[in-house]
Amino acid sequence: MSFSLYDISVPAFSRGLDTLSHLLDKGAAYADEQGIDHAQLIGGRLAPDMYSLIGQVQSASDAAKFGAARLAGIAPPSFPDDETTLDELRARIAKTQEFLRSVTPESMDGQEEREIVIRPGGRELKFVARDYIRGFVLPNFYFHLSTAYGILRHQGVPLGKLDYLRGAASPA
């Protein structure tokens, strides 16, 4: 038994986006409790020239959306990156999950060796699909999830590692 392109992509994105929603919920609860403005919470960042929490959520959404669409060879929906509130970020995550539910395992069958070309930051990168998901999309997706966690922790939100790894397994 082995893994298909779908097996190692879409379920990981869905689970990761669930986690991201959970992290935002805990962040919002902490902000309310401490009297921290939500705008300040979601505007937080780890370095002046890194994305804020807003940008991390948008980027995690994009990594999942473009990753799934490119593996399946379908057009992704367009999300304009105009979120400015916590509720809008939650809606962005929900829209991404809705798109992921529309992507079928069959659409990725036999696509492992298809060429995928992307242009992050103006540089052209070429992959075959099997390397694109393992070497680019998954590390990138988890980067934005982990950085969202780091931004919340940096602002004092009480999160533990199992908030990030929740859903990985049923507690025994």
Nearest CB to its own copies, comparing residues 73 and 139: 139
Q: Does 150 bind its own copies (CB under 8 A)?
A: yes
Tokens 């988890």 belong to which residue?
142
Nearest CB to its own copies, comparing residues 88 and 166: 166
Which two structure tokens, joined as six digits, stand for 9? Answer: 């992509």
Q: Does 104 bind its own copies (CB under 8 A)?
A: no
Beta strands in 22-147 (DSSP E): 115-118, 125-128
Residues 106-145 that bind its own copies (CB under 8 A): 110, 112-113, 117, 120-121, 123-127, 130-132, 134-136, 138-140, 142-143, 145
- Alpha carbon distances (Å) from 139 to 69, 107, 136, 144, 149: 17, 23, 6, 9, 15
32's CB contacts (< 8 A; 6+ apart) are none
Nearest CB to its own copies, comparing residues 26 and 153: 153
101's CB contacts (< 8 A; 6+ apart) are 14
Nearest CB to its own copies, comparing residues 26 and 88: 26
Q: Residue 148 Cβ, how far from its own copies at the closest point, in Å? A: 10
Q: How many CB atoms lie within 10 A of CB 73?
A: 12
Contact positions toward its own copies, by CB under 8 A?
1-5, 7-8, 11-12, 15-16, 46-47, 50, 110, 112-113, 117, 120-121, 123-127, 130-132, 134-136, 138-140, 142-143, 145-147, 149-150, 153-154, 156, 160-162, 164-165, 167-172
